[in-house]
Amino acid sequence: MVRTVLLLGLACIIAAIVGGGLKMAKVEIPLISSPLRQTILALFGMVLVIVSLNLTPTPEQVEPVSKSNLLEKLVAACAEVNRRLEAIEPEQEPRLFAEVLDGFVVNARSEPAPKDDNEELDRFIALMKEAAEAFAAAEAAASTGNQQEKQAAIQLAAERMEAADTAGQKYGMPPLEKCDEVLGDQPASQWRALRNAPLARQQVATAVVDGTIWVFGGLEENNATPTTAGYDPAIDTWKAGPDLPIPLHHAMAVNYRGELVVMGGWQPQGADLQAITSDRVFALRSGGWVELPKLNRPRAAGAAAVVANKIVVVGGQANGELVAAISVFDGERWRDGARIPTPREHLAAASDGAGLYAVGGRLLSADKNLAALERYDPATNRWQQLPAMPTARGGLGAAVIDGRLIAVGGEHPTGVFGTVQAYDIASSTWSELAPLGKPRHGLAVAAVGNALYAFHGAERPTHATSSTASEVLVFS
């Protein structure tokens, strides 16, 4: 609004000046040739410029940030730091301590600060930065073999951390080592927007390795992409990864034995986005993609998870038909598992370590959504039917967090879902959680620590309006 008024005002002034110049050159343009009209345009333009400047908020006019909201974000970031550094000794990995603490500082400084108690807040962040720098100095000393200098730097880092802890508590933070305890296990009231992804896309695959959420392939609009990008929750930052060997969309991805594995999906040819239903399997190893044994049957729009050290792939479609057989990979070869009781595609799957939960999906069309929830146990090669999801939907994402299967988003014939529902595995009951800030389908959903993340997706039915949206629901 402010920009529009300013541009309109400048346009009027320029038109008046151009009109005067044309008049001198004896060029007649009726709208701006009259001196009276030129004067009116100039005055009107000046008024609009003045109005736009008055509409621009000054720092004093900006609505103050709530200290409680800032503290909530700082505590969540602190808990993520604790999770990343859990069971790691600073003497062993000073570099990691430096990177994670520096990420916390970058994240903290990116948040608008409230007016009150800024001195304590600034001191807390500054001391955290000094601790990060001390750990970096320890890493540098270690690389040269100077153990005495390394120990001195680590001691300095510990002192700065202790001082930061004191400053943080004066500001209202809990003790740094107890941030995760303060968060507890209840969901926050609403989703919070994060840094947007660098590329708008949908129908992506996702997996988590070492605390980074990786997103693979997908559709930008009417084009498939091989793009790989990772999101680091500790510093709210995206980074690029090696592109997939081929463009893929509607593929599946897992973390298998510490490696990112992408399988299946559609590979386009020219304008045909579904030209090839892929059976290829790629693993990211030593910075590059290598090919693993192919799926025993091609599929796209399926779902996958790791259970009991095995990759389990369920659902999906191939050549316009549903794929009922499931595929199980033991690290060497694929074999068939028990057929899924309710064949479907555009479903989601997640694992609690003992079983795979297949939720939602559809029968080859958005007007044939399903609410089915079924659990596969690879130890017995059997399926179990569980209470159906309250809202039938396909194109959703899912993850398991704190003993609950969370189903997020989805698509119906005339719109998209922001619906988020949780299935309590112990009590076999469903409940409603806060809806997405931006409803989407074909999105990436992943859990890291006590937080649930939702990236990308389509904001309208079909493949329209790919999104860069990134959101988090912190369980606090």
Question: What is the chain's pLDDT, residue by residue, as a tens digit (476 residues)?
Answer: 545 655 565 565 666 565 555 444 444 545 555 666 656 666 666 665 665 555 544 444 444 456 777 887 788 788 878 877 877 788 888 888 888 888 888 878 877 777 666 788 889 999 999 999 999 999 999 989 999 999 999 999 999 999 999 988 888 889 988 887 766 545 556 899 999 999 999 999 999 999 999 999 999 978 999 999 999 998 889 999 999 999 999 999 999 999 999 999 999 998 899 999 999 999 999 999 999 999 999 999 999 999 999 999 999 999 999 999 999 999 999 999 999 999 999 999 999 999 999 999 999 999 999 999 999 999 999 999 999 999 999 999 999 998 999 999 999 999 999 999 999 999 999 999 999 999 999 999 999 988 999 999 999 998 989 999 999 998 86
Short-list 74, 72, 79, CA closest to 110: 74
Determine the angle formed by the axes of helices 35-55 and 2-24, rounding to 10 degrees. Answer: 160
Shared-domain flag, residues 223 and 369: yes
Last residue of a domain, one of 179, 202, 237: 179
Shared-domain flag, residues 90 and 235: no
| Distance separating alpha carbons of residues 200 and 458, to the nearest angstrom | 9
Does the residue 60 lie in any domain?
Answer: no
Shared-domain flag, residues 156 and 204: no
| Distance separating alpha carbons of residues 173 and 165, to the nearest angstrom | 8
Short-list 307, 398, 305, 404, CA closest to 360: 398
Shared-domain flag, residues 123 and 245: no
Q: Measured on CA atoms in the order 152, 157, 163, 165, is the torsion positive or negative?
A: negative
Last residue of a domain, one of 149, 179, 209: 179
Shared-domain flag, residues 167 and 206: no
Shared-domain flag, residues 383 and 427: yes
Does the residue 62 lie in any domain?
Answer: no
Last residue of a domain, one of 122, 154, 179: 179
Does residue 76 contact residue 70 with C-beta atoms inside 8 Å? Answer: no
Does the residue 316 lie in any domain?
Answer: yes
Does the residue 346 lie in any domain?
Answer: yes
**Boundaries of domain holding 25:** 2-55
Domain count, the chain: 3
- What are 212's two structure tokens? 């980074």
Does the residue 185 lie in any domain?
Answer: no
- What are 380's two structure tokens? 């017995």
Does residue 430 contact residue 414 with C-beta atoms inside 8 Å? Answer: no
Contacts of 163-166 spanning 24+ positions with Cβ under 8 A: 163/127, 164/124, 164/127, 164/128, 164/131
Does the residue 184 lie in any domain?
Answer: no
Shared-domain flag, residues 174 and 207: no
Shared-domain flag, residues 318 and 392: yes
Shared-domain flag, residues 238 and 135: no
Shared-domain flag, residues 245 and 169: no
DSSP strands (E only) in 323-450? 326-329, 334-337, 348-351, 356-359, 373-377, 382-386, 397-401, 404-408, 411-412, 415-416, 420-424, 429-433, 444-448
| Distance separating alpha carbons of residues 53 and 68, to the nearest angstrom | 32
Shared-domain flag, residues 211 and 324: yes
- The backbone region for 72, taken as left when phi is positive above 0, alpha when psi lies in -120 to 50, beta otherwise, is alpha
Which CATH number covers residue 443? 2.120.10.80
- C-alpha dihedral over 246, 227, 274, 295, to 10 degrees? 60
Does the residue 187 lie in any domain?
Answer: no
**Chain-centre distance of CA 441, in angstroms?**
14
**Is 0.75 surpassed by the pTM of this model?**
no
Shared-domain flag, residues 121 and 210: no
Does the residue 245 lie in any domain?
Answer: yes
